[in-house]
Amino acid sequence: MDAAQLRKQIQQRQRELIDVLRGLKQRRPLIRGSVYNLRRKCGKAVCRCQEGHLHESWVLSVPEKGRKRLQTVPKGKRAQWQQMTERYRRFRRGRARLVKLFANILRLVDELERERTVPPPQ
C-alpha cells in the first residue's frame, strides 16, 4: 500500500476514533452487572413453588471477586437499572473497539513509516 492510501486509512480510523470517544464520554451513570427475573423454589414442603409455580423477583447480578452477588431491584427501579446496565455493556463494547482501533492505527503508522523511510545517503 502506498503512503497516500495509508494516510487515507489513518484518517478514516481517526473519524471512527472520534465517534467511539464521543460515546465513551457520555455522563449518564452506569451499573456493572445484569438485571434479570430470578425464579426459584423457597424450600417449604407445602409451598406452591414445589408444584412448579416458582417465586419471582427482579435482581441485579454483579460480578465480585470471581463470584456473582445478587441484589434485589427495588420496586419502580427495574427499567432505570436495566438502562444503566445496558449503558455499561455499550461502554465496554466501545472500549474494546477503542483498543482495536488504536492497534490498527499503530499498524498503519508503522507501515507508513516503512513506506516513507529511505536508505541513508552514500
15-63 pLDDT tens trace: 999 999 999 999 999 999 999 999 999 989 899 988 889 999 999 999 9
Whole-number average pLDDT of the chain = 95
pLDDT band with cut points at 50, 70 and 90 for residue 108: very high
Q: What angle do CA 113, 115, 119 make, to 5 degrees?
A: 90
Q: What local confidence, expressed as pLDDT, does residue 51 receive?
A: 87
In contact, 101 and 17? CB cutoff 8 Å: yes
All structural domains of the chain with their residue ranges: 3-116
In contact, 13 and 105? CB cutoff 8 Å: yes
Entry pTM: 0.82
For residue 1, pLDDT over 90 is answered with no
Q: Which residues contact 90 (CB under 8 A, 6 or more apart)?
A: 23
Cα separation of 91 and 25, whole Å?
9
